[in-house]
A = this chain, B = another copy of it.
């Protein structure tokens, strides 16, 4: 197995390092030969090469069977609306060039952490849903985008083809068939032409999945219900921008944001990453929680290599670390706080 490592910015390198320890340990235990190759991305890549997703990094990803990604983002770029190159452009270029059209974001709770949720226990206990966010279309990539000549007017274009919608929707339908069989199509069909195409396309596909109950909800209503009654959801499908907002909203309800993994998949390539950001304030301090990245490696074994036992071994040891309190300060709750690297060593 060839795994590309893209640590990125902030705490990225630290959390990726722990995942690597765990992946190596799994390789040893199950007798797999695992090769790693590293690439730079994000602010780190801009500093080194001027390009947030250099060709050399793209080559590394293409050669690999799966990509393990940390995080990108550096505050020095955030408040400069005129910056020419931004770390996030690397992320978008990577998604587009690798064809990662579906971002798979599960939300579930850990019994030992659910009390940390901002929501009341009865609302959140047992929550278990998964978002399929379209990742290479919509307003993130649509043209034209920019300014008029005087710079006094700006515009972006949201655009979707039936093809882009149906390949994402099919992934959602298939996931729903293996789960509780409820698919929620999230759109703004009362206002947007793109959303009406989403709804129409999903309506056309629905008869092929007669066992799946399909619901259509407006994005603003979902933003409410995710807080009011998140247990109602099973599989949600949505466009890029709505997915950006709603998956982040969803991520805080479980009380264990530092543990949530994700996958971004396409026809050829697959990338796995924690949902948390680059958390620059914690960078280099050996305090970041590595569990989301470690669980992303578990997702990698399952989804990229179809190795369920290996994935299970990782989830098991993560649960054990939670049960025994071998955790970083963010979830230590008055118990001993372990360093990022100590948690990684223990898990491995």
Q: Is the Cβ of B249 less than 8 Å from the Cβ of A92?
A: no
Name the B residues within 8 Å of A182 (CB-CB).
Answer: none
| Proximity bits, A237-276, B CB within 8 Å = 1, else 0 | 0000110111011011100000000000000000000000
Name the B residues within 8 Å of A223 (CB-CB).
Answer: 223, 245-246, 248-249
Name the B residues within 8 Å of A155 (CB-CB).
Answer: 142, 157-160, 193-194
Stretch in A2-10, A115-123, A287-295 with 4+ CB within 8 Å of B: A115-123
CB of A345 within 8 A of chain B? no
CB of A153 within 8 A of chain B? yes
Name the B residues within 8 Å of A244 (CB-CB).
Answer: 188, 219-220
CB of A339 within 8 A of chain B? no
CB of A88 within 8 A of chain B? yes
| Proximity bits, A185-219, B CB within 8 Å = 1, else 0 | 00011111110110110010000000000001001
Q: Is the Cβ of A147 less than 8 Å from the Cβ of B193?
A: yes
CA distance A139 to B147 in the complex (A): 15
CA distance A86 to B188 in the complex (A): 13
CB of A163 within 8 A of chain B? yes
Q: Which of B92, B140, B194 contacts A156 (CB 8 A)?
A: B194
CA distance A241 to B81 in the complex (A): 20
CA distance A115 to B147 in the complex (A): 47
Kindly identify, within residues 328 to 344 of chain A, every residue whose CB is under 8 Å from any CB belonging to chain B.
none
Q: Is the Cβ of A199 less than 8 Å from the Cβ of B81?
A: yes
CB of A146 within 8 A of chain B? yes
Q: Is the Cβ of B157 less than 8 Å from the Cβ of A163?
A: no
Q: Is the Cβ of B252 less than 8 Å from the Cβ of A224?
A: yes
Distance (whole angstroms) from the CB of A187 to the closest CB of chain B: 9
CA distance A252 to B162 in the complex (A): 34
Name the B residues within 8 Å of A49 (CB-CB).
Answer: none
